[in-house]
């Protein structure tokens, strides 16, 4: 079974997919999930799916980083794109209380409306969350969201992890856990059930410790799997097999093996 990057921005110019994708395939990459973060990027992500239909899964959403770019009409256009292009998930979106221009009222508005859209189309979510896990979990419960998804770049506590798992989510583990200082995160990773997480890079952002100063790419997933395997006292292939199965299950895709 090949490995999967459950969160990467392969549409970004830094990654040069034309030269990168053949290297990924040669390295046994089975799939990637590419989320859009604002309306102007929807077309790029959709084009990438058309170019690499067997490799790329995609999501469409409105990210809190780009709150200044979003308009309420973009929510209607998001729904239109979902109807027309049938993405695998809704996202990347969420809450970020670490932003300098932190308009929480607007963040909550876009969060709630996108959860409602996902509910209508029974889509899993790709969620970005910083310093707002309690608020996010509360909103998901209030809106009776039951279609699961990915909590991207998760580095929270064991208790926060359990709450998301109980709601049907998996946790995206990436470069942050490769740093020596990430002791609490490693404790959390060790405590997760086998069906509770996926591997991701968030490339080209969030480089792992072994790739500082380089462009982060999905090619770093197998080495991240080694770190996870070491923490969990499992083999690298066990971790890859588990996370690939978790990826497809979360996207409601039936894959044999």
- Residue ranges of domains in the chain: 3-250
Tokens 């799939």: give the residue.
31
Mean pLDDT over residues 238-243, rounded?
98
Tokens 């969030």: give the residue.
206
Residue-level pLDDT at 257: 46
The answer to whether 96 and 104 are in contact (CB under 8 A) is no
Mean of the per-residue pLDDT values of the chain: 97
Mean pLDDT over residues 53-61, rounded?
98
- Dump pLDDT digits (tens) for 151-188: 999 999 999 999 999 999 999 999 999 999 999 999 99
Kindly state the percentage of the chain with pLDDT values over 70.
99
Fold for 3-250, please state it: TIM Barrel (3.20.20)
- Dump pLDDT digits (tens) for 84-93: 999 999 999 9
Quote the CA–CA distance of 84 and 194 in Å, as a whole number.
35
Whether residue 46 is predicted with pLDDT greater than 90 in this model: the reply is yes
Please tell me whether residue 131 adopts helix, strand or coil conformation.
coil
């Amino acid at each position: 079974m090949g490995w999967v990057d459950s969160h990467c921005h392969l549409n970004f110019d830094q990654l040069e997919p034309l030269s990168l994708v053949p290297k990924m395939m040669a390295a046994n990459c089975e799939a990637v999930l590419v989320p859009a973060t604002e309306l102007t990027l929807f077309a790029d992500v959709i084009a990438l799916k058309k170019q690499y239909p067997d490799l790329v899964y995609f999501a469409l959403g409105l990210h809190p980083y780009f709150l200044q770019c979003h308009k309420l009409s973009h929510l209607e256009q998001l729904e239109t794109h979902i109807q027309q292009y049938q993405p695998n998930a809704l996202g990347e979106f969420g809450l970020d209380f670490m932003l300098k221009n932190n308009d929480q009222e607007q963040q909550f508005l876009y969060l709630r409306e996108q959860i409602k859209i996902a509910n209508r189309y029974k889509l899993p979510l790709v969620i970005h969350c910083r310093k707002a896990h309690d608020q996010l979990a509360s909103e998901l419960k209030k809106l009776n969201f039951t279609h699961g998804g990915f909590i991207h770049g998760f580095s929270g506590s064991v208790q926060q992890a359990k709450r998301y798992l109980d709601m049907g989510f998996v946790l995206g583990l990436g470069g942050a856990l490769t740093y020596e200082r990430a002791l609490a995160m490693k404790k959390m990773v060790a405590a997760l059930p086998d069906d509770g997480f996926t591997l991701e890079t968030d490339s080209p952002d969030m480089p792992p410790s072994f790739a500082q100063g380089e462009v982060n790419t999905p090619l770093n997933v197998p080495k991240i799997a080694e770190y996870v395997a070491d923490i969990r006292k499992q083999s690298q292939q066990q971790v890859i097999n588990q996370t690939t199965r978790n990826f497809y299950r979360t996207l409601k895709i039936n894959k044999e093996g």
